[in-house]
Amino acid sequence: MNPPTRASFIYRLTLIITGTLLIAFIGAAIMSPKAPTDPLTITGTAVNSSDNAYLGSNSCAGCHTEAFQNWQGSHHDQAMQHATAATVKGDFNNSLFEAPGNNALFSKKADGFYARLAGTDGQVSEHKILYTFGTEPLQQYLVAFPDGRLQQLPVAWNTLTNQWFDPQPELLAQPGEWVHWSEGGKNWNSMCADCHSNNVEKNFDIASNSYSTTVTELDVGCESCHGPGRDHVAAVSSADFNATLDKLHISMRVGEDSQAVVDQCGRCHARRQQLTTKFEHGSSQLLDHYLPQLLIPPTYHSDGQILDEVFVYGSFVQSKMYHSGVGCVDCHQPHSVKLKAEGNQLCVGCHSSEQFDTPEHHHHSANLAQPIGSHKPQGSQCIDCHMPGRLYMGNDYRRDHSFRIPRPDLTIAHGTPNACNDCHTKESADWAAEKVEQWFGPERPAHFSEILSAAASQPNDSVEPLVSLLNDLSQPAIARATAASLLAPNISLPVVERALTRASSDTSALLRNTSLRSLNGSANKVGPLFEGLNDPVRAVRIAAAEGLVDVPENRIPDGLTDAFSRANKEYLTSMLVNADFPSGRMRMALDQHRRGNLSRAEEEYLAVLKIDTGYNAARMNLAQLYYSQGKLSDTENLYRTVIEREPEASDAHYSLGLLMAEQGDYQQAAVSLKAAATTGSNPRAWYNLAVLHQQSGELLEAEKAYLAALQLMPGDTDFINGLVSLYGQQRQWIKALQLIDRALVNDPTNLSLRQLKRAVTQRL
C-alpha cells in the first residue's frame, strides 16, 4: 500500500490522548455491530467470469514448473491472502497494543481473527480480519467497511521482533482526516488493490461514494505481470506454432528490451497516478495507464534522492545503469523476487572487482563482520555508498536505486543527505567532503542533482540552469521533466517558453506530458497542445486535453475535432478514476473552476474537504472562488480556518492580510501581512506591509519592511519605487539616489530605474 502522507498546507496537530479507550476495551457494554460482509468479488477463472481470458496461476505450472515453484511463497505470492491460521502471523491471543490515540485489542474466535479499536466516529468497535496484506518485515490486516470498502488497520505485526506496532505513528491521524485508518488514505480499494491483486477493477461509483471492486486472483500471480494466459496457451498449443516473440501473446517475455521491462515493473514499483479504469496488458508504455511522480519534495529530496516511499522506479530511471541497458531482472530473480547474488558479488558481475571491490576504492576495512543484508553499513559493501536506504512503514528498509556517487559537498551547499553521514552520524558534512576530496581529488562528476538542489535553495537564480538541464538530451528524462515542472512558474520568460515548447515534442513521453502541463500558463500554448492531441501515448493526450479546458471548442481546428474528443474523454476518465482521492477530487474542482462553472467548482471543493478535512489547498481555492463572487465573509472564514489548522501557512496569512486591507481593517491587515512575511519567504508580503506602515506614518517600520522585501528580491522596481517614495516623503533624496544607483549596477539598462533616477536628481 502506498503510505498516505500530509498534503500541502497541512497539519500542525496536537496530540490527543484518549485515556478512556483502554477502559472501553475491558468494559462489557461495548457493542460489537454486525460486521459488513466481504465486499471483494473474486471472479476467478470460470468461463462465465467477467474476463475469461485469465486462466489463473495454476494453469502456468505445467509448462513453467521452475518459475511457478520459485513464485510460490514469494512476496508476490503472499501480497494478499485470506486470513487463516496458516497465513496470519500476528498474535491474536487477546493481545493488546497501546499507543497515544491508537489502542487495539486483537483476539481469536471460532470463526476467525478480530481487532477491536476506535473507528471513524471515535467509537470502539470490533472488526473481523478478512485478509492478510503483505508478509514481511511487516504484515498488515484488512477489514470490511460499508459501501464496499476494505480498510487497513493502523496497527501491524512486526515479523522481525514479533510485536504489534504502529507503522506511521508520526501521522497522529484524527477521525475525518484522509490519513485516519478508517478513511481513504488506508483504503485498500484505491490505495492498494491495483498492485496487490490480479486483473483489478476498482469500480468506484462517485454518485454513491461506494466500491464494487473485482479481482481475478487475490495475490500477484503469473498473469499480473505476464497478462491473461488464454491466447498464450492457445498459441503455444497450436500445431503450426512458431516461437517468435510477437506470437507468444504474453507480456514481459525473455529477451524483451530492458527499458520496456522496467516500465512494466514500474506499473507497481512506482509512485504514480492511475489514468485508466483498468490496466490492460499489451502496451510497453507505462504512461498509457499511469503517470509517475517527478523528483520533487516531499516525495523525493530536492536532488532526487528518496524521501517518501517511492517504490524504486523513479530512482532507477535516474541512474546510469538504466541508461546503459540494465534492467530489474539483471539483479532480481523475476519469480522469487530474490537477489541473483549476495553482497558485492552482485555488483562485480558487471563491475571490475579488482578496481572497485578493494579498500583502495571504498577506503573502508574489508572485514565483513556485519552479516550480509544488515541495515548497518560497513563501508566495504557497494550498496553502503551507492544505495543508501531509509526505513518506511516503521521497519521496512528500502534502498535508493539511483546508484549515485556520495556528495557531501551538496549537503553543505543545499542540505541534501549523503551516504557518508548516513553512517558517520557524529561527523559533519564538511568532514565527509574533506575525506572524499582526499581520496578522489577536488573535482566531482557533473550531475543533474546539483541543478535541482540549487533550484530548491536558490529559486531566484534557477531559471538558466534549469533550462540548460531541460535542453540537455544526455540527462535522464525524469530529471529533465522535473526541470520542466520547476520552470512552469517562469513561463512568461521567452527563454522558458521556447525550451518548454521544444520539449513538448521530445522522444520521452514523460517529458512531453510535463512540458505541455508547464506550458499551460503561456499565451502561445495552443499550438503545442493541438499537436499533443494526436500523441501516441495516453498521458500526453490527457495533458493536451487538460490544457485546452479554457480554450473555446470553436477554436479547435476541424481536422482535430475527433482527436480532441478522444483526448477529452480520456482526460475526464482519468479524473473520475481518481475521484476517491482528495487530490483527484481537487483536480475535478480545478477543472470546473477553469471552465467557469463556479457552482460545480464549489461543490467539488467541498467534496474534497468531505474526503479529507485537512486538505487546506481546497480551502484556499474555494476562498478565491468566494472572493470572486463577493462573499467576503465566507472568504475570510476559510482563510482563518486554514491558519487555525496550520499556523505557518504563509499564503493564508498573506491572502487574509490583503482582504483585511481591502475592507479597511488596516490593523488586522498589518498583523496578517507580518505573519505572512515571517512564516514564508514572501517579498510581496513585506512590500504590502511596508505600504501599510507608510500610510500609517510608521516610517521606520516601513523602511525596514521595504528593505526586507528587497533583500528577498533585489532590484524589483516596485519595491525600489516604494522605498524611494518613502525617502522622498522624508526629503532624503541622497539616500534615494544611492538606492537607485545600487540597483543600476546590476541592471544598468533598466529604463524604469533610469527614469526614476532622473526624477530624483531633479529634486536635489
Q: Tell me the mean pLDDT per 10 residues along the chain, length 764.
A: 44 26 32 65 67 89 95 96 97 94 94 92 90 96 96 97 94 85 94 95 95 94 94 86 74 89 95 94 88 96 96 96 96 96 93 92 73 63 94 94 96 95 95 96 95 90 96 98 97 96 97 97 94 97 96 92 97 97 96 96 97 94 98 98 96 97 95 95 94 95 95 90 93 92 87 88 86
Nearest to 214 by CA among 1, 52, 56, 43: 43
Residue type present at position 257:
D
pLDDT for position 241 = 76
Any idea which fold 447-453+463-570 has?
Answer: Leucine-rich Repeat Variant (1.25.10)
The whole-angstrom separation of Cα 726 and Cα 730 is: 7
What letter does residue 57 receive in the DSSP assignment? G
pLDDT for position 23 = 28
pLDDT for position 244 = 64
Around 457, how many Cα atoms within 13 Å sit in the side-chain half-sphere? 16
Give just the sign of the alpha carbon dihedral 410, 414, 415, 417. Answer: negative
Q: How far is CA 122 from the centre of its chain?
A: 29
CA angle 192, 197, 202 (to 5 degrees): 60
83 in Cβ contact with 132 (< 8 Å)? yes
pLDDT for position 374 = 53
What letter does residue 205 receive in the DSSP assignment? E
Domain spans of the chain, in order of start: 80-196, 254-343+377-404, 447-453+463-570, 717-764
